[in-house]
Every structure is written in C-alpha cells, then in structure tokens.
Chain A
C-alpha cells in the first residue's frame, strides 16, 4: 500500500536535515507499529521517498512524501498513529492512498514557493534590488565551482511589508524552478540581492507538481 503524506516541518525540526529526516520517519513508522515495506537486497532500505529535499534550517508547511506499507491499513488509523509517534514540529496535513505505479514524487516536482522574512535592518532598497533582479537578462553565478544562470530559475518574486505590527521588515514571496538539474535556491537569490542568510527566516510554502 502506497501512502502519500503532506506534512509541515517547523520549530526544532527545521534543524534536522534530509538524511536524518529519513531515519526520523522510519522510526516514527516503527513506533506507530505500521508494517513498513523494505527494499530487496543485501542492505534493505525502507521504502520512503520525499518529493524534494528541504535545506537545513528552512521551515515548511508543504512537504510531501510517499511511504509503502506491506499490508493495507485504514488511512485515518495511519494518520492518527503516525501523528502520535512524530516529534513536535512535524504535523501531518494530508494523507491519501496513491496508485502503486504512480511515478516517483521527485520526478514530478517542477517548482517550489518560499516565504522569506527579512528583518527591517536589511529591508532598505529591496524594491530596487528585486526589480533589478527580475529585469536582468541573465544572472551568472558560481556555486560549488560550477557556473550557472540564476535568472531563469526565478519564476516570480514579490515583496510585501510584514503584516505584524510589532515586527518591522519585509516578506519576499519567491517561486523557483525545482527540476532535476535546474533547482533554484532561495539563499542564492538572497545573496544576489545582498541580504545575509543568517538573520532571515525561510519557509517553503508550496511544492508544485506536473499536471
């Protein structure tokens, strides 16, 4: 039985990386006493697949994963069992059964949306920087020794003042391409705009799939 789960990753869990998240889910499934399916072979791996790795430190309210069970179970029982077994910070938002033969999630992701909270001290001139970025024909950058063009990866960029009264600053809403070999990274966009990574908060708000 293949189950698709939408979940959020917040609070302390932002600091658990992709590989550790894999183990975390495996243990949660075991605590929930659900019959997790394992791959065949000498080193059997649990059949858990994530749509898209979330960088360390990012929050998210839009993660998606598939997991396989050896036996059929009721979806509501799965949801309740898993939620009780998960650490605070991971909330199951949606659960559904999907066709065993449906394509792998990670091949279906085309884009991702992010909400970035920029403190007031870095907010000045952001409109101009955003306009310059969006108007550029190309934005050649280097990452890990490879050059690439950031511009085509930025599908949209909007600014908005923080709605909260007690917290000054700016929200950036970004939509970045997220395909194999063409994945836009929010921190690269921030760096392009001259905003340091440490003081901002980044949350993934949506994954966009094919079709």
Chain B
C-alpha cells in the first residue's frame, strides 16, 4: 500500500492539469487531522459524489464530529473524484485516498458511505474500485476495511446488499459508536471478519445482508426473507435518538467555492404533514425540535468558527417549527448589521411565511421558493398536500407586492390517477400567478416553475403505485412546455430517463445489485448528473441480467405483495401506509398529525424513548402507560403483512 508521502509525490505531478485541484488536497479550516498511530480505529466517511456537493453534507459532518470526539478513533473524508482526476489517478496508480492524511482508503478500518439518494450507487462501486477494494462484500478478506452505509436510500438497502457489509437504518449518532466498539472488540480478541459481521448484525438498527436470504415466488415478487443465523431479528427497526444532540458547529470551510458555502443548523427533525409522496416525511418521524436558544447559540458558534456568509436553518418544514416566529426574531436580532444571508427553506404557503421572510430581509437576497406540488383539487387531496388556489395566489401576490421579483414554484407530475386536466391546472395556476403578480408589481415579476416527476418511494403510502409511463410523462411535459410560454416564466423539468432510473434503483430488490454492477462495468457513474448515454447503458445492463425494468416500475402491485424492503422497518407500520394509500384513492385528507395522532406506529415502537423524553421536544403525544418490557420488534411484526381488500 502506498504511503501518504508516495501519494503526495504522485499527486504533485497531476494536480496542475485537472479541474479544480483544491477538491483533492484537503487542508480546510475545521478539518481534523489526528495522529494516525494515536488511535485504534480509523474511519473514512465518504460522500459518493464530487467534493463540491459532498463537503457541505450535514449528516456526514455529524458523524465526523461524533467520531473525532473519541480519543480512540479518527474520522477522515473522501469524495468521488471527477472523471479527469480519475483518469489521471488510474494512469499514475494512485488509489483513492482520504483528504486529511492522504492515506489510501484501503488502510482504514471502516469505510462509511452516505447514501441519501439512489443515483449514488454506481459512484459507490467506482470509489471501492478506485480504492482497490473488492466491490462485493463476499470477496473481501480479513485485511480489508469494513464497508458500511447509511442515509435515506438505505430504507431499501437491497439493491446495494451485495456491496455493503452492513447498513445503518435510521439515525447514526449513537449507533456509529456501537459499530466502532464492535470493531475494537474484534481487534482486541483477534476475531474474524465473519465474527465481526455477526456481532454487528446484533446491534439494533444494523442490517447485515449476508445473514438474510430472499425467497421469491414464481411471479418474481418476494415470498419471504429467511434469517440465516440464530438470534437475529426478522425485521430491522430503524434507530432514532430521543433528543437531538448538540448540532455540529465547526463546519469545514472549503478553500474553493462549492455548491453550499454555508453553515447550517438543523432546527427540527421529522415532519408531521404526511404528504404521501414524501419519503423523508415518512421515514424521519417522529418530529423532534431543538430549543430556540440552542439553535441561536449553535448558529452563532457556527458563523464564528467558519466565517461563512450564509446560514441555513434546516428542516423538512420550517413553518411547522413551533417557535419559528421567536426563532426568526432572535436570529435577526443576533446577526443584526452583519453581512450574513440567512435561508429558511421549506416554508408553507401562508401569509406568516412572508412575514418571516420580511423579518430576515436584511439578511436575504434572491427569490422565494414554494412547493404546491399539485394544482388541481383532486390531486391535492390525493397527495395529502391541500393548499387552495386562493391561498397560493394571495401569498404569491403579496410576495411580489413586497418587492421580491422572483418566485419559484415546485410541482410534481405523475401522481396516481393524474389526468391531463390535472396537468393543465398547473399551467392555469402559473398563468394566474403571473397575471396577479403583474397587477401587484408590474411587468418585472418573474416565475420559475420546476416540475418533477413522482418516483413512488419505498416506505411511503405510494409504494404500491406504479411510475407514470415514459409516453405519458412526455405528453404531460409537452403540455407544460406549450402552455407555459411567457417571457416572465421559466420552466424546468426532470427528464423521463432520470426519473425511471431513480425509480428502478429505489424500488429494486437483491437482483438489482447485478444490474448496478453490470451498469457500472459499462461505464455508468455520476448517475445524478446529466449524461446522454445513461439510458442506453442501464437498458443493456438490465438485458444482460435478464431482468425487465418494467417489473420494478410499471407493474400494478398486489395489495398483499411483500416488498423487497419489508424487513426494514421505519416504525411507520405497513398497514398504516396502506390505509393512507386507500385514503388517497378516496381523496381523503389527513391533517397535520400534531393535531391528531393517526397511530402511524412510531409511538408503540419508541414508547420507552418517548417516556424518557416527555414534553414538547417530540411532537407525538406523551406516553402515559408504564414502561413495557416487551421488545418493540414484536409490535412491528404483529402488524404486517397487510391483508388484501
């Protein structure tokens, strides 16, 4: 294995001839360089896209802090390298290395991948290959690092089961320490890799695919999952923290401009709105809020230690944060007179949102983004995001009137049972927004319209829904393009190829792993980026594996189908999701669950945790019953499978 000095010498020769070489050298303020020999466990945290995107990822930042606070472990970082750098590294025989120590990834004890979305899968394989580590878990020997992954995409881990040794399901703040402890126990007992994996499989929230086997029915759907070792749970329940730990405040400050040059504070985790298309809203429950004082203090520390000119207050739905008005008041007071942009994304379409933005005005530039998602009443009921036209028009008119010239509206097409009239409603609504805006503020008003296509994600009420067909998507997009021709209007959309790829990967099963491997061998990488040959590569990969992509995306699913991800429990019960799906078909709305608990399954699973953290931090009702001794797994298991109708 090359030494850091050898790697640096070889890098010297190539860095002047690649784009943005600062991506590959580290040396940022707030990066942590520990003495390699002073710790027993070394972890490389990897975001499998380029530095420009990965460096500001908050999830990895949390883990970086958690691990580096230990005296017996260190965490470093690695990212995908862009194609020009990859070519040079392969030519010079430089393996992928971590930025802090310049050590090859193969020299670490643990490689931890962040997989927030599915289009990073081929990049993950490419990183392992560039690091000289066998792609398949089964091919790794005693000397190779443990390869783990976490993030939202891991709520269906099966497409990556062949490449990842262990998945973390849910929140990683606590479980990462248990994993490091298990690795250290193996080192001190000189146990084998197999022993370690078995030990990991027994940690709640850790899924080790090799101890599970999928059995299929004749029609290709899953029959059942077999457990291959004793005392392992049949269902892996996600981990959560009862109280959000103090947020990271020492953000890495890149020495080049990246996508998000900012410090951020997560103000709240989870969402109570229950939009049926939204995977994040389903899998990050329950809602837990931070206190206003904690947020303001963390924000001040983060800005002080980074010097960033932007602060983002992050959550899935900022307007729903209980003390959002107080928070905005305190934040604008705290940073009064400072050159600082403050962003508060994911605001609801209501007048209070404009008041909030007005308060941040001194610190705000740029446009206003709102997400109605659908424009007809029927679709709004279907997706459980019901915002009447009048509210949208009143809000956008008021935004223009108060001097913002650009508004961005997000919509989605491909909702279940959507017709061409529902898409026409998007056109009509956007035209009214512009017309009303012009009346209020003149011809300078601008409207950017982003229209995505629904990918029915696992672990959501829409997991039974099939993806819209390519022909239908194209027809709907054409309608939008024809209807939204206006000099004040800018339309953007997702290419059907990208939607289909995301859906194949999101809804895949264990056989999808072979397709991913085949596509990577054919050159697939950076699947989240625009690339013209992508579709062709993936179609060939499916053909090579003898699989029909439509099986994953365009099949009507039986109501009692066992999904490839059913053994992964986000604690939101499958029959809750199914009832919600039924309600969607009936056009029934479920209001914010802060007002009315619908018994999604979070409380029975985490009743003990809720009991330990009573009161307003969680937005679920308090648990009054005495502590139960029964294992939460039994609760989950008792409630699936769903019977047909």
Contacts and interface: CB of A to CB of B under 8 A. Distances in A.
Contacts of A11: 25, 27
B609 to A, nearest CB: 38
Contact of A15 (B13, B15, B308, B339): B15
A31 B256 contact: no
Given A31-B305, A31-B307, A87 B13 contact: no
A57 B16 contact: yes
Most buried by A among B22, B26, B27: B27
Given A15-B21, A201-B12, A20 B255 contact: yes
Given A27-B307, A198-B17, A12 B22 contact: yes
Interface in A1-49: 11-13, 15-17, 19-20, 23-24, 26-31, 33, 38, 44
Nearest to B16: A57
A46 to B, nearest CB: 8
Contacts of B17: 197-198
B29 interface: yes
Contact of A87 (B255, B257, B309): B255
Contacts of B309: 26-27, 30
For this complex, into which size category does the number of interface residues on chain A fall? 20 to 34
Contacts of B14: 198
A12 B25 contact: yes
A149 interface: no
A31 B309 CA distance: 11
A56 interface: yes
Nearest to A24: B255
Most buried by B among A12, A17, A198: A12
B78 to A, nearest CB: 15
Nearest to A197: B16
B394 interface: no
Interface in A56-111: 56-57, 85-89
Nearest to A16: B255
A166 to B, nearest CB: 13
A201 B13 CA distance: 9
B40 interface: no
Contacts of A15: 15, 21-22, 24-25, 255-256
A199 interface: yes
B522 interface: no
B306 interface: yes
A100 B632 CA distance: 71
Given A12-B22, A23-B257, A87-B27, A56 B307 contact: no
A13 B255 contact: yes
Contacts of B303: 30
B304 interface: yes
A85 B305 CA distance: 9
A63 to B, nearest CB: 15
B460 to A, nearest CB: 40
Contacts of A16: 22, 255-256
B28 interface: yes
B253 interface: yes
B307 A12 contact: no
A28 B307 contact: yes
A20 B257 contact: yes
Nearest to B28: A87
For this complex, into which size category does the number of interface residues on chain B fall? 20 to 34
Nearest to A187: B16
Contacts of A87: 27-29, 253, 255
Interface string B332-355: 000000010000000000000000
Contacts of B306: 27, 31
A38 B309 CA distance: 14
A26 B307 contact: yes
Interface in B298-326: 303-309
Contacts of A12: 22, 25-27, 255
Most buried by A among B16, B256, B261: B16
A29 B307 CA distance: 8
Most buried by B among A29, A85, A87: A87
A211 B378 CA distance: 78
Interface in B2-30: 12-17, 21-22, 24-29
B22 A199 contact: no
Interface string A185-211: 000000000000111010000000000
A20 B256 contact: yes
Interface string B273-307: 00000000000000000000000000000011111
A54 to B, nearest CB: 13
Nearest to A58: B16
Nearest to B365: A43
B22 A20 contact: yes
Given A27-B253, A30-B307, A57 B15 contact: yes
A29 B261 CA distance: 16
A33 B306 CA distance: 11
Contacts of A31: 29, 304-307
A27 B308 contact: yes
Contacts of A24: 255
Contacts of B339: 38, 44
A26 B24 CA distance: 23
A89 B27 CA distance: 8
A47 to B, nearest CB: 12
Contacts of B28: 87
A149 B22 CA distance: 33
Contacts of B29: 27-28, 31, 85-87
A203 B309 CA distance: 31
A89 B22 CA distance: 13
Interface in B25-48: 25-29
Nearest to B307: A27
B522 to A, nearest CB: 31
Contacts of B255: 12-13, 15-16, 20, 24, 87
Contacts of A29: 307
Interface of A: 11-13, 15-17, 19-20, 23-24, 26-31, 33, 38, 44, 56-57, 85-89, 197-199, 201
9 contacts: A12-B25, A15-B21, A19-B257, A30-B303, A31-B307, A56-B21, A87-B29, A88-B27, A198-B14
Closest 7 CB pairs of A and B: A12-B27, A27-B307, A30-B307, A12-B25, A31-B307, A15-B21, A15-B22
Given A16-B255, A87-B253, 15 more contacts: A12-B22, A12-B26, A15-B21, A20-B256, A20-B257, A27-B307, A28-B29, A30-B303, A30-B309, A56-B16, A56-B21, A87-B255, A197-B16, A198-B13, A199-B13
